[in-house]
Amino acid sequence: MFSDIVVLDFTRVVAGPYCSRMLADLGANVIKIDEIPKGKVDETGSITREQAATLRTAGGITNNLGKRSLSIDLKAPASKELIRTLLSKTDVVLENFKPGVMDTLGFGPKSCLELNPRLIYAGLSGFGQDSSRRAFGATAHAEAGWLWVQQEAANTDEVFAPGVTVADLVTGSNAFSGILAALYSREKDGKGQVVDVSLMDSQLQMMNSVMEPILNGLKEEDYQSFRHPLHRAADGKMISINIGNARNWARISRALTGDESPMPESGPAANAQVSDWVGKLSSSDIADRMDSEGAPYGISLTAFEAAKHPHFAERKMITEQEDLVAGMVSAVDSPIFFSRLESRARGTAPIIGEHSKEILSEFSIPESQITSVIDEGSVFQLPVIQVD
């Protein structure tokens, strides 16, 4: 799908790499711009797998599958000229530095679009491109109200952090959507543009159903949190059963009792009735009964159990990629399925500088210039990794 799309990925941490991984899954040529490794690496010899394992590209393995790494000093004059050459032939720039940092390097949105008017420049930040404030996902969790929503739902004395960096993942997804829209717009008028996505805005947008009544006059003392009920089965497993409506109640009733009992008028009474039924059955029995009636339910699993869920095996949601360091890496694959296109992991995550020479050659940089910038330390090329 995107085999002709070149992406320069300057991102770190989670949101940016998560976004560019989705572009790579669609076949984009994603070039990860990595820093020069700190400390000396003997580029004339070889390194061990253990040494290479310390040189993974920023952002982790899973979020960098299918990318290649160019390790370059963005402050060196010779490197700046190389980056400008790459930018002139690039479709998408993705960065998540503090707003203004790319300007100081000479690669801010205005400069990049002047160099390449067709460029899509995506800036991910904490508070938007017009703010100088730094942030992580945890910042948005706190200041966009997400921690409070969790506290109200769990009825705890204090707010608590989620086990997943929600704001980063939503921001990465929103940036991906924005880039696709900008690329489509470019197909119509030939012009690039800036895509500005922030952690705070994305976190708020994720909470739109919570915010709707609040924005329309709800008083804080009248706020009622919403949680799908959980019921304990006879074998101790927690079961999620959302009643939803009268038609679904009929399915649940038939499944758990063999009969259609009338639905209680109040929600708490209906949930209490379901709890009573569930408490007399094992989780496996409940699953069989609910499946037979087409009623939705969920058995609470640990992440370790979920990794072995037959659904994910059937949907091929776990990919295995050959890896220079680990031998083989298992990771979550793309969740987007098409009837004609293909979205999937297309290789392992790179080691810093693994593809520096290769990438520069593809952009028609003369071999003598490549050798020169590597020798002077402006670009780092990963040495050969010793393979047993």
Q: Which residues are catalytic?
A: 168
Alpha helices, H only, 120-164: 137-143, 146-154
Task: Show Cβ contacts of residue 266 under 8 Å, excluding neighbours closer than 6 positions.
Answer: none
Q: Read out DSSP for 200-236? A: HHHHHHHTHHHHHHHHTT--GGG-------EEE-TTS
CA 256 distance to own-chain centroid = 38
User: Residues 141, 169: contact at Cβ < 8 Å?
Assistant: no
Distance between CA atoms of 215 and 13, rounded to whole angstroms? 32
To 10 degrees, what angle do helices 246-257 and 267-278 make?
20
**Per-residue burial over 231-247, b = 16 or more CB atoms within 10 Å of its CB, e = otherwise:** bebeeebebebebeeee
User: Residues 233, 290: contact at Cβ < 8 Å?
Assistant: no
CA 328 distance to own-chain centroid = 22
